[in-house]
């Protein structure tokens, strides 16, 4: 019933939302993702035992969401692989199993881990003096004893739904957007998804034009499906001009930058995910 109420709350703000037919973790654990059930993507949720607050904007089709989760325990059978010459130690295997755990858990001391039934397999390849691929499985239990809280801005951006983790709580969509926007951007800054493009001043533009003849990188992958047709890296800062495209079908319209622009990522916070789920985070914009 809680999940149905959360779905209705999101739909009230014109967000295309639905409940998981089968919760990916358990009925008692909060889950949030974008599933491709529609060309816009569907914000798919399981309320679980969490306390959830929603502050939405019907016209923007977006909502700021705060999720407070109490202590919880999740157990999964996890597989892993390590490449090394000798059989991995118990510590090596446990670290690999923890890194491959397919459920988002708080990092550091907030989560305790236990391992049972670890099975080591023979290496897939062997030979004197060379590394081997060791396979293993085990039952991994992650326990969170203290409450955890996360904040998100979710909803429609141009043509597709997104999830952006916020650095702190927002009680309105406009406040959430301010939290995501990098500080001090100049007038004329453009945005595509989580990336902002700030126009360079005349002197910097001339300098980059001189550098560009020999150092331009074509089709640089910015991350999350976004790429710059022409870019430069100067003092660890990326500058781009020309077309900025999103390789994912119908997510964002292409931008054209007639002069050099500084590339700046938004202030979305990183949420630790398992190795298998690294690409999932990149679909959140």
Q: What is the pLDDT of residues 39-56, one digit of tens each?
A: 999 999 999 999 999 999
Q: What is the mean pLDDT of the chain?
A: 89
Q: Are residues 8 and 76 in the same domain?
A: no
What lies within 8 Å, CB to CB, of 120 at 6+ separation is: 87, 88, 93, 134, 135, 136
User: Strand pairing of 132-144 and 72-84?
Assistant: antiparallel
Instruction: DSSP letter for 216, please.
Output: P
Each residue's pLDDT tens digit, 96-134: 999 898 887 887 668 899 999 999 876 666 555 567 888
For residue 195, give every residue at least 6 positions away whose Cβ sits within 8 Å of its Cβ, in sequence order, or none. 222, 224, 226, 244, 263, 264, 265, 266
| pLDDT > 90 fraction of the chain, expressed in percent and rounded | 65
Instruction: Please tell me the distance from the alpha carbon of residue 180 to that of residue 109, in angstroms, as a whole number.
Output: 27
Kindly state whether residues 248 and 198 are assigned to the same domain.
yes
pLDDT of residue 283: 37
Domain that residue 50 falls in:
2-69+147-178
**Do 167 and 63 share a domain, yes or no?**
yes
- Looking at the fold, whether 60 and 153 belong to one and the same domain comes out as yes
The answer to whether residue 282 scores a pLDDT higher than 80 is no
- Work out the average pLDDT over 210-232: 89
């Amino acid at each position: 019933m809680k999940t149905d109420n959360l779905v209705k709350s999101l739909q009230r703000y014109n967000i295309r939302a639905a409940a998981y037919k089968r919760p990916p973790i358990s009925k008692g654990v909060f889950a949030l993702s974008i599933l491709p059930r529609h060309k816009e993507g569907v914000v798919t949720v399981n309320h679980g035992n969490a306390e959830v607050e929603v502050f939405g904007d019907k016209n923007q089709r977006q909502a700021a969401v705060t999720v407070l989760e109490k202590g919880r325990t999740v157990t999964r059978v996890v597989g892993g692989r390590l490449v090394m010459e000798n059989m991995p130690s118990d510590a090596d295997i446990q670290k690999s199993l923890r890194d491959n755990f397919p459920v988002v858990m708080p990092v550091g001391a907030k989560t305790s881990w236990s391992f049972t039934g670890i099975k080591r397999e023979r290496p897939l390849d062997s030979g004197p003096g060379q590394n081997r691929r060791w396979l293993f499985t085990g039952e991994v239990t992650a326990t969170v004893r203290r409450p955890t809280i996360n904040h998100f801005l979710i909803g429609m951006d141009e043509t597709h739904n997104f999830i952006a983790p916020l650095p702190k709580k927002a009680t309105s969509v406009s406040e959430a957007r301010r939290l995501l926007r990098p500080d001090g951007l100049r007038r004329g800054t453009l945005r595509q998804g989580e990336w902002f493009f700030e126009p360079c001043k005349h002197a910097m533009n001339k300098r980059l034009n001189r550098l560009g003849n020999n150092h331009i990188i074509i089709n640089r992958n910015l991350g999350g499906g976004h790429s710059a047709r022409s870019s430069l890296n100067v003092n660890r800062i990326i500058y781009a001009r020309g077309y900025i495209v999103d390789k994912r079908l119908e997510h964002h319209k292409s931008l054209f930058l007639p002069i050099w622009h500084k590339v700046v990522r938004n202030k979305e916070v990183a949420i630790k995910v398992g190795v298998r789920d690294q690409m999932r985070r990149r679909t959140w914009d």
